[in-house]
Amino acid sequence: MPWRESCAMDQRVNFIADQRSGLWTMTELCDRYEISRKTGYKWLERYHLEGPAGLAERSHAARVHGRATPQHMVDAIVGLRLERPSWGPRKIVSKLEARQRDIEWPSASTAGAILKRAGLIDGRKVRRRAPPRMGELTVPQHANHVWALDHKGWIRLGDGSRVEPFTATDGFSRYLISLAATGSTQHAECQPLLERAFREYGLPQIIRSDKARRLSRPEPLA
């Protein structure tokens, strides 16, 4: 799975999640993502030092340029995008201007270019959203609005046993709620993990599984 620019940020987040699972050695994990060990350790170190913001792509342009956007502004724009993935450049600039009115922030087009270089947008023109139709996926509006459940595909451990890595992610914050190795993809294997997550984080309004089944109202816990 090469790290193409359009999905580089997601790949790095998945790389960190897989590394934290302890299921692979660094060599195996880098082979799985088709990157060098040097690159793998680089992103791991950035995550440890800066958190998720450290996984954003950094510009390789010359640091000294008369019209270059100051680095603290770049960091603020990228940081706010990571906090609010649904916000576009125009809204990000508007919010930053409201927070610090004494600073002359870049235009929305410049902010968009910064986010594109960071791998946070793909640069395609965004079309206006049509009115929701039956069957369209819900766009998360807040934490615990939509959870995404996923089985990453089975792997075989060193002792020869086969496991199915299972993840539960909050759709709004992209926070990794649960990461575990299950024996199969059956409901009975995942239910205890979900119940533990419900008790710790509360019930989401919608649960979306990797097989596109949508549960709008999770059953109350006993």
Looking at residue 62, its pLDDT comes to 47
User: What does the DSSP assignment read for 44-98?
Assistant: HHHHHHHGGGGGS----S-S--TTPPPHHHHHHHHHHHHH-TT--HHHHHHHHHH
Complete DSSP assignment for 121-185: S--PPPPPPPPP-TTPPPPP-STTSEEEEEE---EE-TTS-EEEEEEEEETTT--EEEEEEES-S
pLDDT tens track for 57-116: 765 554 445 467 888 888 889 888 888 888 999 999 999 988 888 888 889 889 988 988
Looking at per-residue pLDDT, the higher value among 94 and 51 belongs to 94
126 contact partners, CB below 8 Å, separation of at least 6: 88
Mean pLDDT over 155-177 rounds to 84
All structural domains of the chain with their residue ranges: 5-55, 146-215
130-140 pLDDT, tens digit per residue, is 555 555 678 88
d(CA 12, CA 30) in angstroms, rounded, equals 11
Instruction: Give the per-residue pLDDT at 133.
Output: 54
| Residue-level pLDDT at 89 | 92
Nearest to 158 by CA among 18, 21, 24: 24
Residue among 157, 173, 170 at smallest CA distance from 202: 170
Are 204 and 214 in contact, with CB atoms under 8 Å apart?
A: no
* Rounded mean pLDDT, 198-208: 88
Q: Residue 193: pLDDT band by 50, 70, 90 thresholds?
A: confident
CA distance 178 to 167: 5
Average pLDDT over every residue of 2-10: 57
pLDDT at 26: 87
- Predicted confidence band at 221 (pLDDT cuts at 50, 70, 90)? very low
Mean pLDDT of the chain: 78
**Which range, of 7-11, 41-45, 196-200, averages the lowest pLDDT?**
7-11
What's the average model confidence in pLDDT over 122-130? 58
Q: Give residue 88's Cα distance to chain centre.
A: 16
- pLDDT category at 4 given cuts 50, 70, 90 is very low
**Confidence band (pLDDT; 50, 70, 90) for 214?**
very low
Q: Which residue has the tokens 């496991």?
A: 163
The residue among 59 and 46 whose pLDDT is bigger is 46
Q: Higher model confidence: residue 96 or residue 8?
A: 96
pLDDT-derived band at 159, boundaries 50, 70, 90: confident
